[in-house]
Every structure is written in structure tokens, then in C-alpha cells.
Amino acid sequence: MKSIALEVEDASPSGIAGAIARLITSGDLAPGDRLPTVRELAADLGVSPATVSHAWQALASVGLIVSRGRSGSFVRAAPSTWLPPRSRNLAGQPGARLDLSTGTPDPALLPNLGPALSRVSSRAGTSSYLDSPVLPELEAMLRESWPYPVDAITVVDGALDAISRALDLLLRYGDRVVVENPGFPPIFDLLEHYGIEKIAVGIDEEGMLPRELSAALTRSPAVIVLQPRSQNPAGVSMTEERAKELARVIRSSRTAQKTIVIEDDHSGEISTKPQVSLGTYLPERVLHVRSFSKSHGPDLRIGALGGPTELVDRIVARRLLGPGWTSRMLQTILYDLMTDASTVAAIDVARVTYGQRQHALSAALAAAGVCTRVPDGVNLWLPVDDERAAVVQLAAAGIRVAAGTAFLAAQAPAGGRRPAAADDGGAAVSELTRGGQFIRVTAGLVRDDFASVGALLAASTRA
């Protein structure tokens, strides 16, 4: 093993943490290796034990090392195998003063469930296994608020449930699927699980890039997965013009006559932008998914899926041979929340508050010399010089963010600030992937102190 002290050029907490992180990346420090004690390294470097201790805390908070009390600190082994691969490094670690790595809504902005819970009947229903799986009043309400007149709607256990069931129905081993780059890591994991080749298509401020999509369609993908609003991680929302253009590209492609579009409106009611859907133009080819996780709470585990009857009915039938349906108790709660005036007002407040937080953080970043577009939704996608250094430097300041690599469908070559090249065919380079080094910051969780958080984020872009 190389001498750690010799590797440290800058003996500040973030400098020490950065040096250790690089040794872990290069493999000089392997999972399970024991690190020197705080006192040993402090003496070697001629710094105070507190300085090394801060570095250790930063590394622990990003999951690179783990403390085992008196036995010392160790390089962490691959964590949490129950998590999907790309989520393992994102799983929460204790110790951050401000955890902006999660992509989740602010619990303080979620509606109060108490009154809705009290209106659920005190005994579970006895409905037949063959009753309609969706409460009629909820279905009527979903139809009314759907972005286009849809054939069939069902209720599912969240957006990811809808997407995985749709993919289950539509994909065969070896098929190709178009994904956004950058995109949502669990979708990439899901496609790998199915043995699917992903075709990365870049996005800009208006959504998927039509020319890149057109090129991708020549490879006859079975499915296109896109996020119409508050794209995670990039925070962009598709415009109506772009939706029309993408629909035209899909309709006119001779090699994509059977391609189905899955739209993941995961941010739903917290998006500040209007609903836009390719279903307006291609209703027979679009499965549109709406999640209530960001607006009403991830733990409700509820979402809706709409599309052509033939596809939706097959998904409903398949679910009947497993979980059956989404509990009518949950559906009752959702319906109550959607019709209760104070809950509707609370979600309006949440939407406006996320918008204000995004503006305040973007302004603080601009004041510190980093100009960004103000994103929609809860996330901010920030280009940085060195992703790992940025994550570690922020952790040393008590802020946890997500490293960008997991969100890239097509990865940049290791170590290089080069344009990302698709890992499996077709270059997919837009401004939102150029450079290949990013962090995703859940700006929606920053409640105050925007100037100092903005300044720390700005500094991390140059780390």
C-alpha cells in the first residue's frame, strides 16, 4: 500500500479526504483495508487530530470508509446488496449536516395524512378479488386530470411499479430501449436486469433531442422511456412544441412502427410546468405514468398508469396474479387527499416553495460565479470539474450530494472531461452530459442559508 501521508498534497480535511478517495478509486486502498489511526496520520502530516478526524467524517458520510470503534476505520466493502446496483452509493449515510443526495421531497412539505386516514373505514373491505381494481371515483378524477383523453387507466404501487410492469410486458431479452441521458438510475438497472441494450439519447432544456431520437429509432427500439416534467436529474420539462416534434419523429420512423413510449411523470403535482404528453399525438403508442410520491409522499406507494386498453388490461391481469391490486384503502386515502381543499392548497404551497428554493439556490450559485438554469422539481444537476472531489469536499463541509455517474446512460471515459460516448451505440452528447462530471443536488431540501450552501456548491464545482 502506498504511504497515505505521501499522497496528501493539501493537509486540510477535504485535501486529506480527497487523497484517500483517490487511493480507493485507484485500488491502492482496497475494501476492508484498515486506515491509520487519526493520531498516527495527524502526526505524520503535522496537523491536529481534529483535521484528520474531519477528513474521516467526510469519507464516512459519502460511504467510502466505515468506523468500527476501537478497531479503527476501514475502507468500506460493497454496501447494501439488497439495493439496485446504481443506488448503492446513494444510500443514506449518517453524519451529514444537510443530506441533499436523496432526490426525495421535503417531509415538511408533504400533506398531513391524519384527516384522510381517519376517513378510511375502520375495517378492511371485503370486496371480491374480481371487483374493478380501481375505485370508480378515483378513476374519474384521474381521467379528468389526465393530460389527454386516455383509453384506460389503472392504479399501481408507484411510478416504478408501473414502468417495471410495462417493461415486463413489452420487452424480450436482447431488445433495445431508448433512455434519456442523463436519466434515472433505477431505469438503467431495470433494463440491465432484463438484458436490454439501452440507447442513450441526449436532452436539452426542452426535452429529448429530436435528431438523436431519430437516429436511435433506426435501431428499432421496443420502448422509449422519457420523463416529461422535472426530469431527474436535469430538472428540465418538455415543451409542447418538443412533444409535437418527438411525436412526428416517432410517427415518421419506418423502423419504429411498433415502438411504445413510456412517460414517467414522477414529479406530478410538484412540477411548476404544465402537463405535456406525447399521448396527445400518439395515444395508441403511449403509456403515461403519474406518481404521487413527490407530492403526497413516497411511502404512500401509489401511482397511476394510463394508455391503450389492450396494454393496460394486460398489465392489470398480470398484477391480479401477484399483488392483485393497489389496496383500496390507499386509493381511498389518495382520493380523499385529492379532493380535500386544505390538502390541495398544501400541495400548491409545496410546489411554489420548491420553485422558490430552486430560484434562491440558483441565485446564490450565480453570486458565487456559477450560472445555472433554474431547474423544475426538486433536483439540480451541476457540472463539476471532478465528481468525486466535489462529493468529498462537500461532505467535509457536512453536505451530502449524489455523484453524477450513476445518472449517465452513456459514461464518459474514466478520468476524462471528454464528451460522453454511448456505451452501447450512438453518441449521446448534449450540454447536460458534456464533460461527464456532475453532481445531483436535491435543491428542494434546502430550506434556508442559501448563500452559504450556494457558495459551498460553487466551490465544489472547482474541487
Ligand X SMILES: Cc1ncc(COP(=O)(O)O)c(C=O)c1O
Q: Which is nearer to ligand X, 89 or 291 (CB)?
A: 291
Instruction: State which amino acid sits at residue 323.
Output: P
| Residue 163 beta carbon to ligand X: minimum distance, rounded to whole angstroms | 7
| Residue 270 beta carbon to ligand X: minimum distance, rounded to whole angstroms | 11
| Residue 213 beta carbon to ligand X: minimum distance, rounded to whole angstroms | 18
Q: Which is nearer to ligand X, 23 or 330 (CB)?
A: 330
Q: Which is nearer to ligand X, 54 or 288 (CB)?
A: 288
- Alpha-carbon distance 436 to 320, whole Å? 43
| Residue 14 beta carbon to ligand X: minimum distance, rounded to whole angstroms | 29
Return the bridge partners of 181, or none.
Answer: 202
- Alpha-carbon distance 270 to 111, whole Å? 12
| Residue 297 beta carbon to ligand X: minimum distance, rounded to whole angstroms | 9
Q: Which residue has the closest beta carbon to ligand X?
A: 158
Cell of 6: 505521501
Q: What's the number of CA atoms in the CB half-sphere (13 Å) around residue 89? A: 18
Cell of 369: 460565479
Q: Which is nearer to ligand X, 19 or 179 (CB)?
A: 179
| Residue 266 beta carbon to ligand X: minimum distance, rounded to whole angstroms | 3
Q: Which is nearer to ligand X, 31 or 298 (CB)?
A: 298
Cell of 310: 389492450
Contact positions vs ligand X (CB under 6 A): 103, 158-160, 184, 227, 232, 264, 266, 291, 293, 298, 303
Q: What is the DSSP letter of 34?
A: B
| Residue 205 beta carbon to ligand X: minimum distance, rounded to whole angstroms | 17
Query: Which positions ≥6 away from 274 have C-beta within 8 Å?
Result: 240
Q: Which is nearer to ligand X, 179 or 361 (CB)?
A: 179
Give the helix ranges, DSSP H, for 288-340: 293-296, 309-320, 328-339
> Between 240-252 and 210-217, two packed helices, what is the crossing angle to 10 degrees?
20
Instruction: Give CA separation, 162 vs 31, 177, 376, in Å.
Output: 37, 16, 23
Q: Which is nearer to ligand X, 18 or 186 (CB)?
A: 186
